[in-house]
Amino acid sequence: MSTLRLPRLVYDAIRAHGQQTFPHECCGVLLGRSTPSGWLVESAIPAGNTRTDSAHNRYQIAPFELIKIERDARNQGLAIAGFYHSHPDHPAHWSSTDFAEAHWLGCSYVITSVEHGKAAVTNSFFLAGLTEEDKRFEPETILVDDQSIGLGHT
């Protein structure tokens, strides 16, 4: 099982983001470095949810916003390590929609359940596999690091 390492500030920020957007889903991008055991995240970049037609149970990040985030990451020597979003009043487990729309193989997908406006459970799933045809979500351990310096931008 892989491990996603999140600085405390980042972990708290993505959970706070879910509370801020409740009852809508929040979403954002995790930037970090790849290690043999999994991603070492350094920052979380909040993104806009373009699914305004159904924001309580859908999210989408505009491709151009993603490109700008990736450009900034590259300039910092970082990579897109994964993504986060919230499930308002819904378990912190991937849905069939999450799976169908997941295309970043080798990246982490973090989901926080937000119950009645309060962040509850946060889980991470690693998108394993080599192609779209054999992709699968694997649960991964979240290691919250109180020592490392991270940037939670929310």
Q: Return residues touching other proteins (CB under 8 A).
A: 25, 27, 29, 51, 54, 57-61, 63-64, 66-67, 70-71, 74, 79-81, 83, 85, 87-88, 90, 94-98, 100-107, 109, 131-132
What is the closest distance, in whole angstroms, from the C-beta atom of residue 13 to other proteins in the complex?
18
CA atoms within 13 A on the CB side of 61: 23
**8 vs 105, beta carbon nearer other proteins:** 105
**Residue linked to tokens 């993603």:** 66
Do strands 118-128 and 136-145 pair parallel, antiparallel, or not at all (unpaired)? antiparallel
Q: How far is the CB of 7 from other proteins (least distance, A)?
A: 19
Whether the Cβ atoms of residue 37 and residue 30 lie closer than 8 Å to each other: no
**Bridge partner list, 37:** none
Give the residue with the Cβ less far from other proteins, 74 or 118.
74
Beta carbons within 10 angstroms of residue 54's beta carbon = 12
Q: Closest by alpha carbon to 55, among 24, 33, 28, 79?
A: 24
Residue (8 or 79) nearer to other proteins, CB: 79
For residue 146, the minimal CB distance to other proteins (Å) is 27
Nearer to other proteins, 8 or 137 (CB): 137
